[in-house]
Amino acid sequence: MRPRSPMLLALLLGPGFFFGFGSAAPARADFVWTFEPSHLVPELPDQVSLGLAVDFNSGKFDTGDRWDTLSFQPAVRIESDNVFVRLALPFHRLVGPIDPDRSGSQSEFGLGDLNFDLGYTLYPVVRGGPFFDFVTRVKAPTADDDFGTGKTDVTLLISGYQMVGYGFAVIGDFGVRLRGGDTYDDTLQAAFILGRQTKGQIGLWLAYDWRESPTVDFGGDEVDLPDEHDLTPFVSIPISKHLRVDPYAVIGLSQGSPDWGIGTSVWWKF
């Protein structure tokens, strides 16, 4: 696959396409993985969890053509006391006018970039104080063909979590993505999440997610792409002691975002 549209390149290389990971995500199944501090769901020391995220989004991205993306992302998370690590490897199916020399839409399936997270949770120093997660994410260039930049990126994230009364909590997230190579500028990202857990330990959350799009240098010609602004309502449902499901929806608020999306992540805790 050899996309020629700068907006398509932004879609392929942006955090939303790779779950944000989202962060959320962005970033949508990974939105929960990235932006949810580890204490939101009670965890045990030396715990291993396996996860699978499924994400679909659709949008025109100011190109006049519709692009549909279906992604699958298996992941593993290992925790010990305050430290946790995560590994996630996505697979993507892209449908759209990939080759402008051909009429109609085409589809491509390929491997995405491997994401490795190393995080540390800082518990409150005073009763009722905030929790903080500090995360370093390394994106390794494992993607097929043009599903990635072929460069290593490093993202630094900090998430703060605070109870605000009546069972409600707020989460603030801020990060910077340091992009490898000279083609793409470094970018910022942030999120604000409000929600609460019911007596049945079901989490009801609404997230606003902003991701700065990179300025792209195509052989000396710089292209400024629109930022990504999304609203993501999501639910965290504990099915059992070991199983948790996190369905979500995405509402795009900018030309840099998909028009809409849906997905879920499923986690099994050993």
User: Which of residues 42 and 235 earns the better pLDDT score?
Assistant: 235
Residue 190, preceding bond cis, omega within 30 degrees?
A: no
- Domain assignment of residue 224, yes or no: yes
Percent share of the chain, pLDDT over 70: 81
- Domain assignment of residue 82, yes or no: yes
CA distances from 154 to 8, 15, 167, 189 (A): 22, 12, 35, 13
Q: Are 75 and 85 in contact (CB under 8 A)?
A: no
Above 70 in pLDDT, residue 47?
yes
- Domain assignment of residue 190, yes or no: yes
Radius of gyration of the chain (CA): 18
Q: What angle do CA 88, 211, 18 make, to 5 degrees?
A: 25
- Would you place residue 7 in the very low, low, confident or very high pLDDT band (cuts 50, 70, 90)? very low
Above 50 in pLDDT, residue 8?
no
Above 70 in pLDDT, residue 208?
yes
Sign (positive/negative) of CA torsion 126, 132, 133, 134? negative
Q: What is the CATH number of the domain that holds 96?
A: 2.40.128.130
Average pLDDT over residues 180-208: 89
Q: Are 59 and 66 in contact (CB under 8 A)?
A: yes
Say what the pLDDT of residue 192 is: 93
Above 50 in pLDDT, residue 210?
yes
Average pLDDT over residues 94-118: 87
Say what the pLDDT of residue 30 is: 36
Percent share of the chain, pLDDT over 90: 46
- Domain assignment of residue 16, yes or no: yes
- Would you place residue 218 in the very low, low, confident or very high pLDDT band (cuts 50, 70, 90)? low
User: Which of residues 24 and 99 earns the better pLDDT score?
Assistant: 99
Say what the pLDDT of residue 146 is: 67
Report the chain's mean pLDDT, rounded to a whole number. 80
Say what the pLDDT of residue 219 is: 62
Average pLDDT over residues 208-227: 79
Mention every residue, 6+ apart, whose C-beta is less than 8 A from residue 247.
Answer: 234, 235, 237, 262, 263, 264
Say what the pLDDT of residue 115 is: 92
Above 60 in pLDDT, residue 205?
yes
Above 60 in pLDDT, residue 119?
yes
Average pLDDT over residues 118-135: 90
Above 70 in pLDDT, residue 255?
yes
- Domain assignment of residue 113, yes or no: yes
- Domain assignment of residue 244, yes or no: yes
- Would you place residue 157 in the very low, low, confident or very high pLDDT band (cuts 50, 70, 90)? very high
- Domain assignment of residue 1, yes or no: no
Above 70 in pLDDT, residue 94?
yes
Say what the pLDDT of residue 12 is: 47
* Domain encompassing residue 251: 6-269
- Would you place residue 198 in the very low, low, confident or very high pLDDT band (cuts 50, 70, 90)? confident
Q: How many domains, in total, are found in the chain?
A: 1
Interval 65-83: pLDDT, tens: 888 999 999 999 998 888 9
